[in-house]
Each structure stands twice: as C-alpha cells, then as structure tokens.
Structure 1
Amino acid sequence: MGGECLDTRETILQNALELFYTKGYDSVGVQEIADVAGITKPTLYYYFGSKIGLLKEVLKRYGTEMIDLLKDASYYDNDLPMTLYKTAAAFTEFAIKHRKFYFLMLALSYYAKENEAHKEMEPYMSDLYQMILSIFENAANELGNMNGRQQKFAMGFIGTINYYILFLSETSQGEEIIVTNDQIFTLVHQFMHGIYS
C-alpha cells in the first residue's frame, strides 16, 4: 500500500512537471493534470492540496537539489577561475539532467511579480543569486578592479551560463546534450576576460 501511494504521488508530480514545462503553469488546470496522470481530482487534492501545492513540491524537490549542488560548487577557495568553473559545471550538469525543471524555473522567474507561481520560485532564484554574488564578494581582494561591481558580475555570470544552456538546448535538436570540461573552461575563460578587461 505504501509503495502504491509513493508511485501515485510520483506519477502526479512527473506529469505536472511535464505539463508546467510544455504549457506553462498558468495554462494548466487541475483536471488536465489529473487526466494525464490517470487519477481523479480528489486524489490530486489528497496528495498536494492544490495546483500551487503541487508546484511547491516540484520546486522543493528540484530547487533544493539545485541549491545544495551549487552550495558545494560555489564555495570560494581563493581561486576565482576554478570556483567559477566548478559552479558553471555544476549548474550546467543540473540543467541538462533536469532540463524540464530548469526551463520551468526560468519561465517562472519571468512571470509577473504578483503571480503565485513566481512568488514560489523567487526564494530559489534569490538563493542562486546570493551564492553567485558571494563568490565575487569573496574574490574582491583577488580582483583589484571590482570597484563595487560584484552585483553586475554575479548577474552577468548567471546570464552567461543561462544563455549557454539555452543555446545548447536549442542546437541539440532533441539529442542528448554533452558538455565537456573544455567547453566549461572556455566559457569561464571568456567571462573572466571580460572581468579583467
């Protein structure tokens, strides 16, 4: 019985993620999720309470994994290029492994500020930004030309990685995306060139 409950819960979760990813959170109704998952609406409400409750579970599962992964990778060890490399590698690996969640996360981050889905995503995006910002704040002594530009560097680095992942996804034509260490090193090198110029 317990395994069956876990299977039902997981089926609902995965089908909801697929629908949120393909159609957008606001365009998906509870009935559609239930139909695709092969359950009744009362079953969905039993497990998640509501559509936003379901989104919260999706965010908790994948958002927490992302933040935990990046906490380790973004630890600054007095080597800015290597810290950025480890962070970019971890973020890219996560985005490729959980592509549907990654693109849902990006979409939700651009929703209207008062949208309930945006509000649920915001803490994860804020944590991501703060981790990247802390890298540049900790590297202020290493970068003599920081001049209070830590926030711009953090936003630029996140934007660079996001655009790179988007580019890889668009050009993969449905094939598996493989990113090499050399590609990540080159990405970080180009970003660092912009910082030092």
Structure 2
Amino acid sequence: MSKKEELMKFALELFAKEGYDNVGVQKIVDSAGVKKPTLYHYFRSKEGLINAILTEKFLPFLDELAKISDYKGDIVLTLEKIMFCYFKFAKENSDFYRLILNHAYSPEKSQTYKSTMEYHTKQHMLIEKMFLEAEKQHGNMRGRSRMYTFSFMGMINSGISYYFYTKDEKDISEESARQLCRQFMYGIFS
C-alpha cells in the first residue's frame, strides 16, 4: 500500500469513528506513520484528503447505481436491486458509509456537508430518474417521484443504520432488501 493509500485508509477510519471535524492533521499523520508534509504533498489539506476519499469511494458506486437504476419496466425488481446495491456497498465500505451518513446531517455551512452534498444529490437524481420513468407505466405515481426518492432513500439508510447497530448480516441480505422493498411498495400490512 502506498503512503497516499495509507493516509486515506487511516483518515477514513478516524473520520468514521471520531468525526471529520474532531480529527486533526496531526492525528492522521501519526496514525499513518508519516509527517505532515507527506499529507500536504498528496492532498494539499485535510479538505483535499476528504475529497479524495469521497471520489475514490463514491465514483465506482455511482457508476454501479446508474446501471442498476435504469428502469426496464419492473419497478419492484429495480427497487430491490437498488436497495441491495446500497446494502452491499455499506457492508463492504462500512467506515465510509457511516461517514457519509453523518455528513448528510452536518450543519449546512460546514465543510463536511458541502463536500458530500454533490454525491448525495447525484444519488437522488439517479433514483428520481428511475421513478420518473416508472411514472410513465404507472400513472398513479405521477407527480410524486421526488417524495418517493426521499422516502426510499430513507428506508435504505434506516436499514443500513440498523445493520450497523445489530452487526447482523441478515439485516442487509438480499432477502432483507426484498422485504423492505415490499414494505415500501405495499405498506406495513404487506
């Protein structure tokens, strides 16, 4: 692992456990076993470091999400695929997912909020696009795609948060994704 990769790895662990604002550059370089100039060489600043982490983790995920959220006429199957994609990503990148969940609720003017909003917006746009396409087939959905997007994302993130709490992998299994999607589609009496 290169020094750059080590810095990103240790920074992500620290940011996820202690919060971005609570971790200083000195703590990051001490954890990685390097000096401050090394961090500044690769990233210029702590902000540059968090942006590099976000880019490295989010871009491949957004590419995958774009593929599976392409609506092909089966809303339930598409929702299940999207939800399981998130579950798999959160399981494989738990420190990162914890970090982005925390950043979504940061103060609006904070650097953490600003750095992640672009990625949150892209996710929402992809999912809303899927709902807009589904509206063409399901007239009763018209005009509600934005609300569906936020509700569905809320359900995904609640499921992932529950997994972080229980540490039980069945809570983010494909079956769990199917059950949550049924609940989303048909309500609590399904």
Give the SS at the match of 2:140: coil
Which residue identity is paired with 2:137? E
Q: Deviations over 1:28-76 (max 9, x none)?
A: 1001101111110111111111000000100000111221121111110
Residue number in structure 1 paired with 2:175: 182
* One of 151, 155, 172 as aligned partner of 1:160: 155
2:137 and 2:166 map into 1 onto residues whose CA distance is 36
Q: Check if 1:97 corresponds to 2:129.
A: no
The offset of 1:186, in angstroms, is: 1.1
In structure 2, what residue type is equivalent to 1:17? L
Paired-residue identity, %: 35
Aligned residues: 188
Which consecutive unaligned segments of at least 5 residues does structure 2 have?
none
Q: What pairs up with 1:65-76 in 2 under 5 angstroms?
A: 65-76=60-71
Match of 1:139 among 134, 137, 143: 134
Please give the per-residue CA displacement for 1:3-29, whole angstroms capped at 9, x wherever unaligned: xxx611111110000010001001110
Aligned twin of 2:185: 192
Counterpart amino acid of 2:180?
L
Deviation at 1:188, TM superposition (A): 0.7
1:49 equivalent in structure 2: 44
Paired residues of 2:87 and 2:173 also in contact (CA < 8 A): no
Question: Match of 1:29?
Answer: 24
Q: Distance in 1 between matches of 2:75 and 2:137?
A: 8
Cα distance, 1:145 vs. partner? 1.8
Query: Could you list the per-position Cα deviations for residues 102-147 of structure 1 after superposition, in whole angstroms to 9, with x for gaps in the alignment?
Result: 1101111111121122111111000000011111111113323224
Counterpart residue identity of residue 117, structure 1 = T
Alpha-carbon distance in 1 for matches of 2:55, 2:116? 10
Distance 2:101 2:164 in 1: 14
Name the residue aligned to 1:3: none
Matches of 1:102 and 1:180, distance apart in 2: 17
Question: 1:86 deviation in Å?
Answer: 0.8
The one-letter amino acid paired with 1:32 is K
Q: Hey, what does 1:118 align to over in structure 2?
A: 113
Aligned alpha-carbon RMSD (Å) = 1.7
TM-score normalized by structure 2? 0.94
Deviations 1:139-174 (A, max 9, x none): 1133232241111111000000100111122012xx
Consecutive unaligned residues in structure 1, runs of 5 or more: 1-5
Matched with 1:7 is 2
